[in-house]
Amino acid sequence: MDWIRSLRSQDTTHSRFLVVLSLTILVLLITVFLPPVADSQLAEGAAIAIVILGLSWLIGWSGQISLGNSGFMAVGAYSASIWAQHHATTPLVLTFFLAIVMGGLSGLIIAVPSTRLRGPYLAGMTLAFSAAISPIAQNFTSVTGGENGQFLNELTTPKWFLHLFSGQNAAINANAQWSCDIAIVVAGVAFFFMANLFHSRTGRAMRLIRDNDVAAELVGINLTLTRSSAFMISAGFAGLGGALYTILNATVNPSTFPLTLSITLLTLMVLGGIGTLSGAVIGGIIYSFSANLVDHINALTGVNPASNLGANMQGIIFGVLLILTMLFAPRGIAGLWGPLRRLTKSRRRLVTHQNVQ
C-alpha cells in the first residue's frame, strides 16, 4: 500500500506519474495470464472505476451528492456512438475527449441551478436527470436509434498484437486482452489526472468548502464556481467511463445505463472508500467480478437465476455488503488499511517487548 501513501502525500507530479505508470504496467502484465472472460470483466470494471473516481471527487471532496452519474455515463456513451457513426476513422483519443466534453457540459447544465440545493434536494434533482435520459434516448430515434440503440464497430486489434498469440482461440484471446489493455491504459490516465487534481489548488478549495463553506467564502473562494466545476469534472469522468463502456461492448441503448446503475455506483464508492483513489479501484474490481459472485451464491443456495430472487441477487449482495461496511468499516475497504497497519505494528512491539523480557 506504499503507492496509496505516495499518491496521498504531497509528492511531485513526476512521482505520481511514476507510481501510476508502474501500477498500470503491473496490471497489464496480469492480463496476460487471465482468460478472455476475466479480461472482458476487468475491462468493464476499469470503465466503472473511472466513473466511481469522478463520483468520489464530487461527494468525497466537494461534499455534494449526485444520483445522476448513470445519466452522465449515457451522455458520454451516446456522444461517442453518434460521433463514431459519422466519423468511423476518428482516433480513439478524440472520441474519448468528446465524451469528456459532452459529459462535462451536461454536468454544468445540472450544476448551475443546483448550486443552491443541498442534501436530498440536490440528490432528487440529479436523480430526475438520470431518469430523464432513457425516455429522451427512446424518443429521439433518428439520433439515438430509439429502443434498438446503436451498434459500433468493435475495437480493431493490431496485427502485431495478434501475432503474439497462437492456438485455436488465438483471435479471441488477443481481442479480449487488447480491449482490456486499452481500458486499463485509459483508467490509468484518468487516475493520474485525478491524483494531481486531489492535490491541486482546486482540490484544496473543494475540501475547505466541504468542511466549512463560510470560511471558504471568507478567504475568497467562489462557492458557485467551485461547486459547479466539481459537477463538471465528475460528469466528465462519468462521460469518459460511459464512452469506454460502450466502446468495449460495441453497443448502447436506453437500457444500458438504467437508473439503478446510479445507486450501484454510489454503493460501490462507499464500499471502496469515499474520496480515495484506492476506493475507486476496489469498487471497479467488485463490479468486475460481482457476476461471478452472484453465480456462485445462486449455485450454493440453489436459487434459480431466472427467478425474481436470482435476478435481484446482485442488488441483495450489494445491500448486505453496504450494511456490513457501514457497521464495521465506515471509511470503506480502503479505510481498513490504517487500522490494520497500526494493529500489526502494535503486535510487533508486543512481541519485541516479550522477547526482550
CATH of the domain at 59: 1.10.3470
Q: Is residue 305 part of a domain?
A: no
pLDDT value at position 3? 45
pLDDT value at position 352? 64
Cell match 464512452: residue? 243
Q: Is residue 249 part of a domain?
A: yes
Cell match 446482485: residue? 314
Residue 245 lies in domain: 2-288
pLDDT value at position 337? 76
Beta strands in the chain (DSSP E): 150-151, 251-252
Which residues lie closer than 8 Å to 353 by C-beta, 6 or more apart? none
Which residues lie closer than 8 Å to 312 by C-beta, 6 or more apart? none
Within its chain, how far is the Cα of 237 from the centroid?
8
Structural domains counted in the chain: 1
Q: Is residue 323 part of a domain?
A: no
Paired sense of beta strands 150-151 and 251-252, if any: antiparallel
Q: Is 153 exposed, middle or buried (0-12, 13-18, 19+ CB in 10 A)?
A: exposed
> How many CB atoms within 10 Å of residue 276?
25
Nearest to 99 by CA among 145, 50, 136: 50
Maximum CA extent, the chain = 81
Q: Is residue 179 part of a domain?
A: yes
Q: Is residue 337 part of a domain?
A: no
pLDDT value at position 346? 66
Q: Cα(256)–Cα(158) distance, rounded to whole angstroms? A: 28
Q: Cα(245)–Cα(41) distance, rounded to whole angstroms? A: 11
User: Which stretches of the chain drop beneath a pLDDT of 50?
Assistant: 1-4, 6-10
Q: Is residue 233 part of a domain?
A: yes
pLDDT value at position 265? 93
Question: 242, 99 in Cβ contact below 8 A?
Answer: yes
Q: Cα(102)–Cα(71) distance, rounded to whole angstroms? A: 12
Q: Which residues pair with 150 in a beta bridge?
A: 252
pLDDT value at position 349? 66
pLDDT value at position 288? 92
Kind plus residue range of the DSSP H or E element containing 267: helix 259-272
Measured in residues, the chain has a length of 357
In tens, the pLDDT along 57-76 reads 999 888 888 888 999 999 99
Nearest to 195 by CA among 66, 12, 342, 357: 12
Q: Is residue 316 part of a domain?
A: no
pLDDT value at position 2? 42
Gap between the terminal Cα atoms of the chain: 33
Q: Is residue 313 part of a domain?
A: no
pTM of the model: 0.90
Cα dihedral 70, 27, 194, 79 sign: negative
Burial 109-120 (b: 16+ CB within 10 A, else e): ebbeebbeeeee
pLDDT value at position 4? 47
Cell of 53: 473516481
